[in-house]
A and B are shown apart, each in its own frame.
Chain A
Amino acid sequence: MSDIKIKITDREGVVHEVDAPTDMNMNLMEVVRSYELAPEGTIGICGGMAMCASCQCYVNSDHKLPDLSDDEDAMLAEAFNVKDNSRLGCQIHMTEDLDGLEVELAPES
């Protein structure tokens, strides 16, 4: 397994191209935290249980992503700034077919 490249636009609009490992059982929220692209305490508050929406992001590339789970769907139904391409970063696991993924972090709320 190898690293994949991901383009992440932070909340200030700065684009970061980062390497994400696919063999560490990591999700997108954890990748963002490991590169410190959002201040600690403003992302991943619930730890990745799809229970807070602090890791909401917009997916701007047309990668095939896993379907929304009921938990994620319900959480997004109560989040703010939600768009059609909104997902919770903690529910997107890093796999090789996500190479080239482009996402933008939703505003903090």
Chain B
Amino acid sequence: MIETDILIIGAGPTGLFAVFEAGLLQLKCHLIDALGQPGGQCSEIYPKKPIYDIPGFPEILAGELVDNLMEQIKAFEPGFTLGERAETIKKLEDGTFIVTTNKGTRHHAPVVAIAGGLGSFEPRKPLLEDLQKYEDNGVAYLIRDPEVYRDKKVVISGGGDSALDWSIYLADIASQVTLVHRRNEFRGALDSVEKVRSLKEQGKIDLITPAEVIGLQGEKVLESLVIAKSNGHENIVLKADAYIPLFGLSPKLGPIADWGLEIEKNAIKVNNALDYQTNIPGIYAIGDVNTYPGKLKLILCGFHEATLMCQSAYQRIHPDKKYVMKYTTVGGVQGFDGTKKEAPKAVVKAIE
């Protein structure tokens, strides 16, 4: 069981900044995120896009913003449960919560802050007949253990970075890798595209473009795929042990919707007059996942919400303690790792 003061669901910019504000109050945080890396949408969808409305940054790439936030919170030693989705929540008699992920990891905290953005990212599944029947019987949307594909015939679909990168990676493991894409062009990083081109020339990757997988065949497990070439050729039937469609991820609110929280327009209603608490005391919602009159889904608004949430969380965790907010220019930043950042002392010296 992972123990922490504030359990943050969602490791996007809002969730990450909450770690900083909590740290100033000497509260420890742990974050859960369905993605394999922190940063949320900023890392997953648009790391290379510039953002122009972060106060104090005339221009910053989304990926850089995430790197900066990770640096800013480093001293507060946040814990991470990545690649797992928060599934269930249970309120104990003492008012604290246990949140369990889809892989069974349990987290215990007096305060839960949902910073889940538009939801957890789920793989987008192609529209194929009997797709479900072959899931875990040859069809997979995520590659957890590449060794599963050793000496197997693997077909990958998609035209982005993950399709390219996994084709490259599996070229050395699988007996055959076939990459199927609807266009001749790929939109991944240039060097990945080049690498695939050279592996194709070496005969290590078969490229079928422009084409699309239109059917799955096999008695109980996947045995072959039907592939349609777009320029009027006859369909190809290709023997395959595994099919990995990589068409990106789309966010779904998911299990959080069943936690008894008041939901409106796919977002969680909160008290914006006070502390961004939900209808369940002790559960807060901050950033894009919440809604209230006048809500704007902006990173900068998420930062503000995270800050007020932490003040309220402090009072909930320490109801008897007196506290006044301290400026970082005055109090500095005292990390849990023993580091201390503070303003240099002014030199007082007479001029004679």
A contacts, CB < 8 Å to B:
39-42, 45-46, 49, 51-52, 54, 70-71, 73-75, 77-78, 80-81, 109
Contact of A77 among B45, B182, B265, B267 (CB under 8 A): B182
Contacts of B265 in A (CB 8 A): 39-41
A-B contact pairs, 12 of them (CB 8 A): A40-B267, A41-B118, A41-B266, A45-B118, A46-B41, A46-B45, A49-B49, A77-B159, A77-B185, A80-B247, A81-B127, A109-B127
B181-A77 in contact (CB<8A): yes
Chain B stretch 184-242: residues in CB contact (< 8 A) with chain A: 185, 187
Q: Is B37 an interface residue (CB 8 A)?
A: no
The count of chain B contact residues (Cβ–Cβ below 8 Å) is 25
Question: Which chain A residue shows the least CB distance to B183?
Answer: A77
Chain B stretch 116-156: residues in CB contact (< 8 A) with chain A: 118-119, 124, 126-127
Bound CA span A77–B158, Å: 8
A74-B267 in contact (CB<8A): no
Least Cβ–Cβ distance between A105 and chain B, in angstroms: 15
A78-B182 in contact (CB<8A): yes
Least Cβ–Cβ distance between B249 and chain A, in angstroms: 9
Question: Which chain B residue shows the least CB distance to A46?
Answer: B45
Contacts of B41 in A (CB 8 A): 46
Contacts of A109 in B (CB 8 A): 124, 127, 250
A45-B250 in contact (CB<8A): yes
Contacts of B251 in A (CB 8 A): 41, 45
Contact of B250 among A52, A74, A81 (CB under 8 A): A52
Contact of A41 among B127, B159, B160, B267 (CB under 8 A): B267
B248-A78 in contact (CB<8A): yes
Q: Is B308 an interface residue (CB 8 A)?
A: no
Least Cβ–Cβ distance between A74 and chain B, in angstroms: 4
A78-B159 in contact (CB<8A): yes
A80-B253 in contact (CB<8A): no
Contacts of B45 in A (CB 8 A): 46, 49, 51-52
Contacts of A45 in B (CB 8 A): 118, 250-251
Q: Is B46 an interface residue (CB 8 A)?
A: yes
Contacts of A51 in B (CB 8 A): 45-46
A74-B46 in contact given A40-B267, A41-B119 (Cβ < 8 Å): no
Least Cβ–Cβ distance between B278 and chain A, in angstroms: 17
Bound CA span A42–B41, Å: 15
B183-A80 in contact (CB<8A): no
